[in-house]
Amino acid sequence: MGVINLLAVVVLSYLIGSIPTAYIFGKIIKNIDIREHGSGNVGATNAFRVLGKGPGTAVLIIDIIKGVLPIVVVAGFLAPYPFGRIAAAVGAVCGHNWTCFLNFKGGKGIATTLGVLIGLTVAIPEARVAVLLCVLTWGISFLISGIVSISSIIAAVALPILMVVFAVPTSLILLSVVFCIFVVFRHRPNIQRFLRGQESKVRMPWHPKP
């Protein structure tokens, strides 16, 4: 029963993560395929860019929930132990990044990863400080740079370091390394644009004028 439950957690978490929120909102609101607009990414950042602040915010919230539900609800009922939570976490993020509903091409996983981390802080208290500091790292990086992608990469790299510093369980450290690899891998085009000075930037009042 344990193995069956674990497989069920992975499958259900993957399916929840696979819901292509930005694609659905693009079809409903503007009758467009969001993959053909903006950056072409099926995620919250591109939803803000193409659909506007309201729909973008809705996409962001739903994508975060896609990460929370598998940890708290799915694993909570079927496999309420650390490895079960981790299986749910990986399933949800893989679903968002490689959704079965869009030929296994999805978003970059930032919002859903944040949801997963929120779910883990609810289910595994030892991870709370590390996760909160990771989110703070993203916020500071974004305020300084104004670049969502680079801030996400910095936060992703900081996550396993913070997990080690605060001595969370080894399984969570390994999970944070996996998430870090996912984020960096999915942001390779952004890194290339950043090195060329072409990455999109949200200009803050304190940023120097170009």
Confidence of residue 199 (pLDDT cuts 50, 70, 90): confident
Q: Are residues 79 and 156 in the same domain?
A: no
- 3-class secondary structure, 3: helix
Q: Are residues 65 and 85 in the same domain?
A: yes
Q: Are residues 85 and 14 in the same domain?
A: yes
Long-range pairs for 183-189: beta carbons < 8 A, 24 or more residues apart: 183/108, 183/109, 183/110, 183/113, 183/152, 183/153, 183/156, 184/153, 184/156, 184/157, 186/97, 186/108, 186/109, 187/108, 187/149, 187/152, 187/153
Q: Is the pLDDT assigned to residue 66 strictly greater than 90?
A: yes
Residue after which a domain boundary falls, among 72, 99, 120: 120
Q: How many CB atoms lie within 10 A of CB 89?
A: 30
Q: Which domain holds residue 185?
A: 124-210
Q: Are residues 106 and 134 in the same domain?
A: no
Q: Is the pLDDT assigned to residue 100 strictly greater than 80?
A: yes
Report the pLDDT value the prediction gives residue 121, as an integer from 0 to 100. 86
Q: Are residues 77 and 5 in the same domain?
A: yes
Domains identified in the chain, total number: 2
Residue after which a domain boundary falls, among 120, 149, 179: 120
State mean pLDDT over 12-27: 97
Q: Residue 8 and residue 84: Cα distance in Å, rounded?
A: 10
Confidence of residue 200 (pLDDT cuts 50, 70, 90): confident
Residue after which a domain boundary falls, among 120, 143, 163: 120
Q: Is the pLDDT assigned to residue 7 strictly greater than 90?
A: yes
Instruction: Burial-class residue 177 by CB neighbours within 10 Å (0-12, 13-18, 19+).
Output: middle
Q: What is the pTM of this model?
A: 0.87
